[in-house]
Structure 1
Amino acid sequence: MSKEIAILGVGMHPWGKWGRNFVEYGVKAARDALADAGVTWREVQFVSGAATIRNGYPGQVAGATFAQALGWQGAEVNTSYAACASGAQALAAARAKILAGECELALVVGADTTPKGFLRPAPGERPDDPDWVRFRMGITNPTYFALYARRRMALYGDTLEDFARVKVKNAEHGAENPYARYRKRFTLSEVAASPMVADPLRLMDICATSDGGAAVVVSSLAYAKRIGKADAPRIRAISTVTPTFASALVEMPDIATDSAVAAPAQSFRAALPRKAYEEAGVDPKDVDVAEVYDLSTAMELDWIEDLQLCARGEAAALLRRGETALGGRIPVNPSGGLACFGEAVPAQALAQVCELAWQLRGQAGARQVENARVGITANQGLFGHGSSVIVVRP
């Protein structure tokens, strides 16, 4: 049985620091996705929301919140929480519903309003929460981004200039994206001159926190054909596997551990795309475009290797040759990535799928990857959550 579903429509609310209710962003994205799909809200049978824990009870029941805001019409609802992978988990729920034959048309929405500064756990003592524990130890997000970067420098000889090149590339891409928060191009010297946050990473190496929203309308292949959209991009695989060794349970599976170096296929980030490739029947060399989780510039290089787009330790060389830029062999983050968007946590995995849909439909404008047919996403959430989605053009 085919596990494919069709992407009929996608929509986004521009990322920024708007300071408004997250529902506004999600509703705007949802309405744009419905219009793009050419279907009405009343035809939707299942609404799958990505939760945001920062926005009170409405954020914790996001599926119902968006359904209410769009107007109660009897659709079933679901809410998924997986930190930064929440959008992909919500998408997986919709896919499962469609493949089970329990609905034909679903709407998936994620949106967030974030506080100023870096993300942090909610107040209170929670020794059973590994995210809270690492913050208590002093390992804030920028700190562990820096540890990943130091690991690359020690193992593979990556340099500060390599990390800066990632920012320069993504800023060049994001300057062409109307939904991106930051649309300014940077030079290597400007990145190097930005303030140090967590050695060796500077401010321009680390993504911001943002407000924003994204939505995807998906359907069965039969439904897509019935409404004249048999050529719509298709989701062929969604991987949400968990780590396979104990140290991963504290959210940092690859930090300077000999076991991770000796057996990278065991690591959390490597397992996600491997499962997606197996399910989709796609080889890494078939991938034309990738949207990856660049919380930091160095982390993008890790993901390129985890996606098997090059051998372990060779991502920086790939970058230096221009192969991950538009016009290169395998463009990475043509949207501009989190470097240009920032984190709107429940929306970002869906935003990646939106970008792949535009790319595979040939609608990405100045950031278009020529003749893109296969795209992959990669996303990492706390406490064993993560996702990889493969989208193909039929």
Structure 2
Amino acid sequence: MSADVAVLGAGMHPWGKWGRSFVEYGRAAARAALADAGLDWTDVGSVVGADTVRSGYPGYVAGATFARALGWQGARVTSVYAACASGAQAIGTARAQILAGLADVVLVVGADAAPKGFFAPAGGDRPDDPDWLRFRVLGATNPAYFALYARRRMAVYGDTREDFALVKVKNAAAGTLNPNARYRKAVSAEEVAASAVVADPLRLLDICATSDGGAALVLTSMDFARSRGIGDPVRIRAVSTVTPTYPRTVLDLPDIATDSAVAVRPAAGSFRASIARAAYEEAGLGPDDLSLAEVYDLSTALELEWYEDIGLCGEGEGAKLVREGATALGGRIPVNASGGLASFGEAVPAQAIAQVCELTWQLRGTAGERQVPGARAGITANQGLFGHGSAVVAVR
């Protein structure tokens, strides 16, 4: 039996700071995805919601919340939480239900209404959580640990602040072409350099914002797609939600030497690399087969790490790719043709779904001015706190 499922619909609520309920964003995205699929809400047999922890109880039961917002019609519901990987786990859950024969049509929805500023830990004290410890014991809020990664790249590989700025310039240029993006203004390297220092060497424009937004997908069995006369839909071929492998038990921080002035080279076989490797193995594809990629650019420096982790280049060669323009629109392997988090900001449970929306439009050839010519295969990648992997491979 084929492990592919069809993507018949993709929809989004534009990102921004709208000041409304996450339910409104998710409902709008779901309706857009259903319209894109040419299906009615009553055709949906299952709803999988990606949870948000910032919106009270409705956020914890997102599947039921969105089903209610669209109008109770008897569909089964599932709610999943995996921090930034929530959307990928929602897609994986929907795919499993389809392949198990539990539903022919599954609606996947994620949406968030984000607070101003960086995300503080949610859920109270969690002394058994390495990420809570990162915040409380080390004082390493997200911008601080993004900066640790950036500093290590500078020390070990010779990356520069100018290299990091090129990532923002590239993603901002793509974002100007995306009507769903929050920031649709070109940015120069000089503007990045002139923005406020947040955690040296990263400036304000090196780090993504927090945003409101929503994204949704309508996934179906291949048989259902064919019954609707769609013989060549975009297909999800792999979903990777792997966890780290022992002895890598302390997560999300670069190795730190006893002498804090000395950078430690990354250990072989990073967790992020294992996320992509599992997706490639399941899909029967490799980096050379890709037309494009969507990766989680929480910071400009972190995007360069992802180039290496998903196999677009060797260790320490990420900056070379961005300098050459290889990952820009029109380059050899565009990365974040959507504009990435640099243009959207972060709406956590929606983000991994939004990445697959972009792959869908690109593989259909309907991405407008940001279209990657002849796109046939793409990968998404991000990482949720506490060891949640997230990668999806889509093909046409």
Q: Same fold (TM over 0.5)?
A: yes
Report Cα offsets for 1:198-228 as digits up to 9, x if no partner.
0000000000000000000000000001001
Structure 1 residue 56 displacement after superposition: 0.4
* Cα separation, 2, equivalents of 1:81 and 1:16: 22
In 1, are the aligned partners of 2:50 and 2:350 still within 8 Å (CA)? yes
Q: How does 1:28-107 map to 2 (within 5 A)?
A: 28-107=28-107
In 2, are the aligned partners of 1:49 and 1:61 still within 8 Å (CA)? yes
> What is the match of residue 230 of structure 1?
231
> What is the match of residue 179 of structure 2?
178
Structure 1 residue 231 displacement after superposition: 1.3
In 2, are the aligned partners of 1:45 and 1:76 still within 8 Å (CA)? yes
In 2, are the aligned partners of 1:27 and 1:70 still within 8 Å (CA)? yes
Structure 1 residue 256 displacement after superposition: 4.7
In 2, are the aligned partners of 1:148 and 1:255 still within 8 Å (CA)? no
> What is the match of residue 145 of structure 2?
144
> What is the match of residue 364 of structure 1?
367
Is the partner of 1:69 in helix, strand or coil?
helix
* Cα separation, 1, equivalents of 2:161 and 2:15: 28
In 1, are the aligned partners of 2:152 and 2:264 still within 8 Å (CA)? no
| 2:390 aligned with 1:387 | yes
* Cα separation, 2, equivalents of 1:74 and 1:367: 39
In 2, are the aligned partners of 1:153 and 1:159 still within 8 Å (CA)? yes
Structure 1 residue 259 displacement after superposition: 12
* Cα separation, 1, equivalents of 2:216 and 2:320: 35
Structure 1 residue 260 displacement after superposition: 8.7
* Cα separation, 2, equivalents of 1:248 and 1:159: 30
> What is the match of residue 285 of structure 2?
282
Report Cα offsets for 1:281-316 as digits up to 9, x if no partner.
001100010000000000000001100011111111
> What is the match of residue 314 of structure 1?
317
Structure 1 residue 232 displacement after superposition: 1.1
In 1, are the aligned partners of 2:255 and 2:266 still within 8 Å (CA)? no
* Cα separation, 2, equivalents of 1:77 and 1:276: 26
Report Cα offsets for 1:60-89 as digits up to 9, x if no partner.
000000000001111000001000000010
Report Cα offsets for 1:6-30 as digits up to 9, x if no partner.
0000000000001100000000000
Q: How does 1:86-235 map to 2 (within 5 A)?
A: 86-122=86-122, 124-136=124-136, 137-235=138-236
In 2, are the aligned partners of 1:249 and 1:384 still within 8 Å (CA)? no
Unmatched 5+ stretches in structure 2? none
Amino acid at match of 2:155: A
TM-score normalised to the size of structure 2?
Answer: 0.96
Amino acid at match of 2:375: A
Unmatched 5+ stretches in structure 1? none
The alignment's C-alpha RMSD in Å is 1.5
Say how many residue pairs are matched. Answer: 391
* Cα separation, 1, equivalents of 2:332 and 2:203: 28
Same amino acid, percent of matched pairs: 68
* Cα separation, 1, equivalents of 2:99 and 2:265: 38
Amino acid at match of 2:235: R
